[in-house]
Structures are given as structure tokens and as C-alpha cells.
Amino acid sequence: MAALVILFSCQKLDRPPLGDYPTDTQTLPGGPLRFFVSFDKTDGPSPRWNAADSISGNPAQLDPFPTVPGVTGNAAKGVLGSAITYLNANDFAATAKSFTMAVWLKSAGVPHLNAQFAMSLVDKDYWHNSGMFLLLDHDQCCGGGALGTTVDSANVSFVVKDNWYAFNGKDRIPKLHDQQWHHLVFVYDETTSKLTTYLDGHALTGLSSAATSQLTGPLNLNAASVSNLVLGGWNKHASIPGPTDSWIDSYPGALDQFRLYNKALSASEVLALYNSKQ
């Protein structure tokens, strides 16, 4: 009887199914597009999978925002106090020297009193635990009155490795809070150390050095320090270390077609994205 028990216990049995989980050893497709989520998928096993990154196939880590009609297909609708979180931005941090970040935004209206954060690339090398983030300031910023964000012009900060590209004063970005869809693209070219900002397919011109010349040379993120990618909010909205000040709000508008490239897209490539609503 003991021999039978030993024989049975040594048999190779089938493994129980573990489900379709992301791994750290996935082979990513080539090309400059390193992260892309369209929010258009509808046949996944859960909302997490419907918001999966299309490069690696990794889902959002928690059930994401509700969906609303997007610029094409579906978009994610922001929820104050929450954020969509991904395991990582694939190999963007390891491969990007120049880069492009593109997203379609539809504001819920001019922010009042608190700034709204649209994304964060989590990076423990910086005091705010973010190697890249996008902040849309409120209507009382910068002394209030005419200097604050309005429907026609938005005070915006795009921060890369603690280099603050400030779109204030005459550099404010138009139209972002008119509650219509707008295509916002930041293109950084390591060979010129210049940031070019596009709105609805066209480069913003006449910007000061505060909005164009902060980072110098290649991006060179420390990939070992970069972890999650947060959309529709900042670290605190995803329970990730970073500032927790009360003035930090998530983005309650809609987001669509979020893209990260490890190259500086040309003006014609940006215009093609806009024209095709990608």
C-alpha cells in the first residue's frame, strides 16, 4: 500500500490553468511605437483587458475608468481621485533618446482651484517619483485673473526628468478646455535638445525657451528606476509613492489614443496621426 502511495505521488500531473497573465519576458514587436492604448477593445474578459496596451498586450492593473465615445471608437472617462495604472511603459524608458508623446484629450471644463494631472511615468530617481508628467493648471494659478487658465488658453506644465516645460503667459496652449477633442503631441529631438509641441496637427510657434529648451541631449532615463505608467492622474491616484498634496487632482476629462514613441516624429507624421484620428 505504501509503495502505491509513493508511486502515485511521483506521477507528473497536469498543471492547473493559471490564466493569461503578463510576464516580464515577453518579446515586444519592433518599431518606434513602444506603448499604445486606444481603449477600443470590447471583447476582453474584463475592463482591464479592454484597456490593454497593444504593444505588449498587458492589461491595466485595476479596472480602469468607464468608457465614453472617443475621437474614434471608445475613450477612457476620467474619474476624480482615480487613475488607470499599467505595469510599465514596456521598454520605452530603456530605448528612448528622442521621444514623442501623443494623446487626444477632451476636457470636462476649466479646472478650478486644483491642478489636474493627465499622466505620469513613475520614476523613483526624482523627488516627485515621476520621470515624466503632464499637468494642466487651474483658473486661479499664477496670481489669478487674466494669468490663470481659461477656456481659450491653458497653463500647462510638461515635466521630463525634473525639467519643467512651462506653457504660461504668452506660451499658454489654446483651446484645451473648450470641451472638444484636441490632439496634443510633445516631440523631443535629442539632436537639437528642443521640444516641439503640436495641437491638432500643427506645431505651436513663437514659444519661449521656457516651453522649448529645458532638457539637454538624449533622454537617457534610468530604466531600472522606472516602474508604472499612470494615465488620467498622478502617482497618488494610483497609490504609488509621490506627493499627496490636496491640490493634486486627477484628470476628469476623456483620454483617447495614448502613444509613446522612442523617436521624434516628423511634422508630417504628427499631422497624419491627427488627420486619421489616431
In this structure, is residue 19 part of a structural domain? Answer: no
Instruction: Supply angle C-alpha 219, 223, 227, rounded to 5.
Output: 115
In this structure, is residue 193 part of a structural domain? Answer: yes
Rounded to an integer, the average pLDDT of 35-45 is: 92
**Residue with grid cell 483587458, as numbered in its chain:** 49
Determine the pLDDT at residue 63. Answer: 80
Torsional sign, CA 220, 225, 132, 267: positive
Model confidence pLDDT, tens digit, residues 254-266: 999 999 999 999 9
The letter for the amino acid at 266 is: S
CA distance 60 to 20: 13
pLDDT band for position 140 (50/70/90)? confident
- Per the structure, the complete domain to which residue 177 belongs is given by 59-275
In this structure, is residue 240 part of a structural domain? Answer: yes
Cβ–Cβ < 8 Å for 75, 278: no
In this structure, is residue 38 part of a structural domain? Answer: no
- Write the CA distances from 89 to 175, 233, 261, integer angstroms: 29, 15, 10
Cβ–Cβ < 8 Å for 188, 98: yes
In this structure, is residue 195 part of a structural domain? Answer: yes
The letter for the amino acid at 93 is: A
Please determine, for residue 14, whether its predicted confidence score (pLDDT) is greater than 60. Answer: no
Model confidence pLDDT, tens digit, residues 96-120: 999 999 999 999 998 888 999 999 9
CA distance 84 to 238: 7
How many structural domains comprise the chain?
1
Read off the CATH number of the domain in which 211 is found: 2.60.120.200
Determine the pLDDT at residue 146. Answer: 53
> Cα dihedral angle (250, 251, 255, 260), rounded to 10 degrees?
-60
In this structure, is residue 54 part of a structural domain? Answer: no
In this structure, is residue 23 part of a structural domain? Answer: no
Q: How far is CA 66 from the centre of its chain?
A: 17
Determine the pLDDT at residue 143. Answer: 52
In this structure, is residue 119 part of a structural domain? Answer: yes
- Least confident span in 5-14, 160-169, 185-194: 5-14
